[in-house]
Amino acid sequence: MDSGREHQNNGDATSPTHVPKKQKVSNFITPEEIESEFSHHLPSVARINNGSFGCCPSSIIAAQRLWQMRYLEQPDNFYFNYLKAGVLESRRLIKDLVNADDISEISIVDNATTAAAIVLQQMARSFYEGKFSQGDAVVMLHYAFGAVKKSLEVYVTRAGGRVIEVPLPFPVSSKEQIIVEFRKALERGKLEGSKVRLAVIDHVSSMPSVIIPVKDLVRICREEGVDYVFVDAAHGIGCVDVDVKEIGADFYTSNLHKWFFSPPAVAFLYHRKLSGSEDLHHPVVTHEYGNGLAMESAWIGTRDYSPQLVVPSVLEFISRFEGGIEGIKKRNHEKVVKMGTMLAKAWGTSLGSPTDMCSSMVMVGLPTCLGIESESDASKLRVHLREKFSIEVPIYFCPFKEGEGKADVITGYARISHQVYNKEDDYNRFRDAINKLVGEKFTCKLLSE
C-alpha cells in the first residue's frame, strides 16, 4: 500500500487546477460557450474523428497552464509539495468514477499504450521467471489495436508464449457472434495444449470500432480458468459505461484524453487488488521502483505532469453539461447513430454493426464504386479527404471474404465520431464530398502512392 506515504504530502492538491467559474448557478453550458471552449479547433476542418486523439476545451488548457506555471515558478516546491498530493487527488476522483474498491488499485499513466506495456511486461517476467511455461498462451481479439498487437509480439512471443488471435467478423450483426468466436479460440488453446495465461480484450475496438461484450467475455475467461484478463479500454471513460467491479477484469485501462476532455496525455490503469498482480511496474524505472505502481507512475523523472493534475478541472467542465458525463455520452451516441444512418442512406450503404454495438463512434459503409481494395487505398482516401475537402475521418478497409462477389460488397467503412463540439454540417460536408467523388467517377486507383 502506498497511500500512507502519499498522505504525508501537505500540498494543496486542488487549488491551482480550478479556473474561476462563470457565475452561472443552474443553467447548463450553452452552444455559444461550447463553441468558445473549442474555438482553437481549426474552423475550416470537419473534425469527425474525436476517436483518434480526443479534444481538450480551453478552460482545461487554462487550468493545465496554471499547473505548468506552478512548476516553472518554483520546481522544488512543485515536486515536493504539490505533485504527489495532486496526483493522489486525481486518483481518488478516478477511483470513484470507475467504482474501484481501493485507491491503491488506480495508477495514472500516460496512455493506454503504456498501460499495455506495464501489464505485458509483467507477463514476460512470468515467463522468464518460470511461473509460466513455454507455449502458454495469450488470447487477443483480431480487432486489437496495432500497438497492443506489437507489444504482445515483443513481450509475450519473445518470452516463449504464444498468441491466439480470435477471428472476428465484420460487419458484425450481434454480440453473440463475438462471444462464439471467443469461446472457440479458448477451446482451440485447450485442444492445442496451451494454458491460457492472459486474455486481452478491447472494450471499444479501434478499427473497426465496435463495443465488445466485455462483461460476457470476462465471465467466460473466469469459467475457463484464464489466469488474467486485461481490458484495453483506450476509448473507455466518457464513451461507454465503466464500472471496473462489474466488468470484473484484473486490469483495465482507459485514456482520459480521448473522451474525457483531458489534455494529452493521461490514462489510468486499474489493477484488481485480489488478482495477485503486485509485481506490476512502470516501464521507466526510477527512485520510486518497488513502492507500488501508482507511486512509480507518479514520479517518472523530470517531465510535464500537468495532464495528470487537471482531473478536478475536467470534472468541473463536465458538470456544466446536462446529465454530466452520462448525458454527454448518451447524446454523442444518439447523434453519431443519427449521422451514420443519414450518411448510409445518402450513399446507399449500411452501418457495420447494430446501433447498440456503437458507442460515440459508428462505422459507415462507403460506396463500393470508390474502389477501396486495400489498406493502402483506405489510407490514401483518408489523406485525399483531408487535403482536398478538409475532412478528418479514418477509413477502414474490410477485405473480401472467400466466396463473396466483388461487385456489391462494401470494402470501405468510415469511422465517424461525435463529440460535444460537432455540428450536423460536419457530417453533411462528408456526405457531399463522397457524393462529389462518386459523381466524378473517382476511384482510389486515381490516387498515387
Ligand X SMILES: Cc1ncc(COP(=O)(O)O)c(C=O)c1O
User: What's the Cα-to-Cα distance from 239 to each of 23, 257, 318, 336, 379, rounded to whole Å?
Assistant: 29, 11, 13, 12, 25
From 107-115, 276-284, 361-369, 391-399, give the range in contact with ligand X by CB under 6 A. 107-115
From 11-19, 29-37, 228-236, 425-433, give the range in contact with ligand X by CB under 6 A. 228-236
Residue at grid coordinates 444512418: 341
* Pairing mode, strands 251-255 and 228-233: parallel
Q: Please tell me whether residue 111 binds ligand X under the rule CB under 6 A.
A: yes
Contact with ligand X (CB under 6 A) among 255, 297, 306, 422: 255
From 145-153, 303-311, 349-357, 409-417, give the range in contact with ligand X by CB under 6 A. 145-153
User: What's the Cα-to-Cα distance from 304 to each of 65, 75, 97, rounded to whole Å?
Assistant: 11, 11, 24
Give backbone dihedrals phi and psi of 89, rounded to 5 degrees, phi first. Answer: -65, -45
Q: Which of residues 153-182 bind ligand X (CB under 6 A)?
A: none
Note whether 251 and 271 are within 8 A (CB): yes
Note whether 412 and 363 are within 8 A (CB): no
Stretch 25-54: interaction string toward ligand X, x if CB under 6 A? ---------------------------x--
Contact with ligand X (CB under 6 A) among 149, 197, 235, 415: 235
Contact with ligand X (CB under 6 A) among 64, 104, 121, 206: 206
What cell numbers appear for 330 in the block? 448518451
Q: Please tell me whether residue 6 binds ligand X under the rule CB under 6 A.
A: no
Q: How far is 196 from 198, CA to CA, in rounded Å?
A: 6
Q: How far is the CB of 236 from ligand X (least distance, A)?
A: 9
**Which is closer to ligand X, CB of 19 or CB of 234?**
234
158, amino acid identity: R
Q: Please tell me whether residue 64 binds ligand X under the rule CB under 6 A.
A: no
Contact with ligand X (CB under 6 A) among 202, 227, 288, 377: 202
Contact with ligand X (CB under 6 A) among 83, 106, 109, 112: 112
Q: How far is the CB of 203 from ligand X (least distance, A)?
A: 8
**Which is closer to ligand X, CB of 105 or CB of 110?**
110
What's the burial of 333, exposed, middle or buried (CB within 10 Å: 0-12/13-18/19+)?
Answer: buried
199, amino acid identity: A
**Which is closer to ligand X, CB of 97 or CB of 267?**
267
Note whether 99 and 124 are within 8 A (CB): no
Q: Please tell me whether residue 148 binds ligand X under the rule CB under 6 A.
A: yes
**Which is closer to ligand X, CB of 145 or CB of 268?**
145
Q: Which of residues 276-335 bind ligand X (CB under 6 A)?
A: none
Q: How far is the CB of 151 from ligand X (least distance, A)?
A: 10
User: What's the Cα-to-Cα distance from 117 to each of 104, 152, 283, rounded to whole Å?
Assistant: 19, 9, 7
Q: How far is the CB of 359 from ligand X (least distance, A)?
A: 11
From 74-82, 156-164, 201-209, 331-339, give the range in contact with ligand X by CB under 6 A. 201-209
Q: Please tell me whether residue 152 binds ligand X under the rule CB under 6 A.
A: no
Mark residue 289 as left, alpha or beta (left: phi above 0; alpha: psi -120 to 50; beta: remaining): beta
**Which is closer to ligand X, CB of 205 or CB of 308?**
205
Q: Please tell me whether residue 336 binds ligand X under the rule CB under 6 A.
A: no
From 9-17, 82-90, 199-207, 321-329, give the range in contact with ligand X by CB under 6 A. 199-207
Q: Please tell me whether residue 123 binds ligand X under the rule CB under 6 A.
A: no
Q: Please tell me whether residue 145 binds ligand X under the rule CB under 6 A.
A: yes
Binding site for ligand X (CB under 6 A): 52, 111-113, 145, 147-148, 202, 205-206, 232, 234-235, 255
